[in-house]
Amino acid sequence: MRWDVRHLTRRARGGPPRVPVAARPPAAGLDTATVHGVLELAVRTGEAMLSLGAAAADVTAAIHRLVAAFGLVGTQVDLTFTSITVSNDLAGTGTSVTVMRVAGSRTADYDRLARVLDLAADLSGRRVPTAEAAVVVDAAHLALDEVLAAPAPYRPAVVTLVLSVMAAGVSVLLGGGAWVALLAGGTTAVIDRTMRALARWGLPPFFLQVVGASVATAVAVLLLVLVPLLPVELATLPPSLVVASGIVVLLAGLSLVGAAEDAIGGFPVTASGRVFEVVLLTLGIVVGIGGVLDVARRLGVRLEVVDEFTGAAPVGVQAVAAAVVAGAWALSSYARPRAAAVAAAAGGTAWLLFTVLRALEVGPGVASAGAALAVGFASESLAPRLRVPALVTATCAIVPLLPGLAIYRGLFLVVDDGSSLLAGAEVLLEAATVGLGLAAGVTLGEILAAPVHRRARSRRHPDRAGRVLTS
C-alpha cells in the first residue's frame, strides 16, 4: 500500500453531509389535489395531537411519517405553540402546496389522543400505492372525523366524582385521616363544579385557577373558625391538607412535562409558550391562595399551618393512595379503564421509589426526579406491549408527587408574617425545583427508553422499522 500524498488526502476527506439541508424533494407522482388532501390530513392529525396534549416533537414526527407513507418526502413542518404549517414543493412542477391550521384550545382527553395515535400509526405503518392515495386519504379523513366527534366516555358528574376521590387520595398521602379525606373530596367537588360553570360563561383559565384556589383556601379558613367550636383538635383536621389537596388537583392539569419535552426536543418557541402558560396558571393559584389568606388575616382569623402530621399512613397505604390518585387523574382526563389501571400501577410504583430515595436522605427535588426518571423509562419502553401511550402513563404517574403542600406552606409563610418572607420564598423555590425535577426526569426517561421502544416495535413489525410513532 502506497502512503503517498493523494492516498492520504483521499483518506482525510469526509463523506456526504451528516445533516442534509435545502434538499429538493423527489417527485411523488401525485396530483396537486391529492397532495393537498394528504397535507390536510397530516396537519389535522397534528392539530388533534397538539390540542389533546402531545409534545411538539411527537406531533412533528407523526406528520413526517404520515406524509412519507404517501411518498411525500422532504415535507416542511413548522410548529409553534398554537399553529402548525405543513408545506411540500412538488418536484418538477414549480408548485408548492401549503396547509396551516391553528390549535385553538388544549385539553386533556387521553381517550381521543390514544385513538388519534393509533390512527396515525396505522397510516404511517405502510406505503400507500399512488393509485390508491386519493381513496386512502378520503377514508382516513372520515376515520379522523369519527375519532374527534366521538362522545366522551364519562359524564361530567362522573369526572367530578373521580376528582373528589383523587383529592381524598392526596390527603391520605399527606397524612390526613378519613374526615380530612372526606372534606378534601367534597371541597374538590365544589371547585370542579364551580370552575365548569364559570368556564361555560367564558372566564379565562387564569381566573378559573384563582377561583379554584380561593374556594379551597376559603374552606380551610372556615375550618380555622369552626374547629375550636367542635370537639376535635386542629391537628386532627388540619386545614392545610384541604388546601394542598385542592392545589394538587389544580396543578395536575398543567403541562410541565410537555414544556420540558418541547424544550429538550428543540422547539424553543412552543416550549416558551407552554412554560409561560404553566407560570401564568400557577400564579393564578398563588393569587387565589394569597388573597384569601390575606383577607382572613385582616379579619382577625388566627392562621395556622401544621408542619408535622402524627397520623401519617404506613408506606403500603400511601402507595395505594398514590395509585388511586394517578388512576383517578387518568379517568378524569377520559382515559379508558385499561389505561387508568396502568397509570395507577405506575403512580404507586413512583411513590414507592420516591419513598425509598427519601429514606436514603436524598433531597425532595432529586428524589422526585429519580422517581420520574424511572416512570418515564418504563412508560416509553413498555408502551407497545401495554398498548397505552407513554404520555398518559408518565403524566398521570407523577401527579401524586406534585408539591401542593409545599406551595401552600410557602404562601402561608409569605402572607402570615413579613419576617417569614425569605422562608416562604425558600419553600416556594423548593416546590418549583420539585416540579422541574418531575418534568425533566420523565423527559429524560422517555429519551433513554426510545431506542428500546424502537427495537421492540421493529422485532414485532420488521416492515415498520424506523417508522414507529412515539407517544
- Which residues, 6 or more positions from 427, have their beta carbon under 8 angstroms from its beta carbon? 406, 409, 410, 413
d(CA 392, CA 337): 12
Query: What does the alpha-carbon distance between residue 249 and residue 260 come to, in Å, rounded to a whole number?
Result: 20
Give phi and psi for 142, each to the nearest 5: -65, -40
Q: For residues 341 and 328, give the distance between their C-alpha atoms in angstroms, rounded to a whole number.
A: 9
Place of cell 398498548: 387
Q: Cα–Cα distance between 245 and 238 in angstroms, integer?
A: 12
For 236-267, b/e burial (b = at least 16 CB within 10 A) is: ebbbbbbbbbbbbbbbbbbbbbbbbbbbbbeb
Greatest pairwise CA separation for the chain in angstroms: 99
Cβ–Cβ under 8 Å, residues 375 and 346: yes
Per-residue pLDDT, 25: 61
Residue given cell 382527553 in the structure block: 109
Cell matching residue 10: 483521499
Query: Within 177-299, where are the H helices?
Result: 178-200, 205-226, 239-252, 256-264, 268-298
With cell 397509570, the residue in question is 343
Q: How far apart are CA 286 and CA 176, in angstroms?
A: 23
Q: How far is CA 317 from the centre of its chain?
A: 26
Question: Locate cell 384541604: which residue?
Answer: 242
User: DSSP strand E in 22-162: where?
Assistant: 76-79, 83-90, 95-102
Note whether 420 and 414 are within 8 A (CB): yes
The strand order across the sheet containing 83-90 reads 76-79, 83-90, 95-102
Given this model, what pLDDT does residue 467 score?
35
Question: Among all chains, which residue has been given the C-alpha cell 384550545?
Answer: 105
Element holding 328 (H helix, E strand)? helix 315-332
Ranges of residues in the chain with a pLDDT under 70 are 1-29, 91-94, 230-236, 252-257, 302-312, 405, 415-420, 452-471
Enumerate the β-bridge partners of residue 357. Answer: none
Which parts of 360-418 fold into alpha helices (H)?
A: 364-386, 390-397, 404-416
**What's the confidence (pLDDT) of residue 374?**
94
Record the cell numbers describing residue 379, joined without a space: 412508560
- Report the distance separating Cα 389 and Cα 54, nearest Å: 10
Q: Which helix (H) or strand (E) holds 309?
A: none
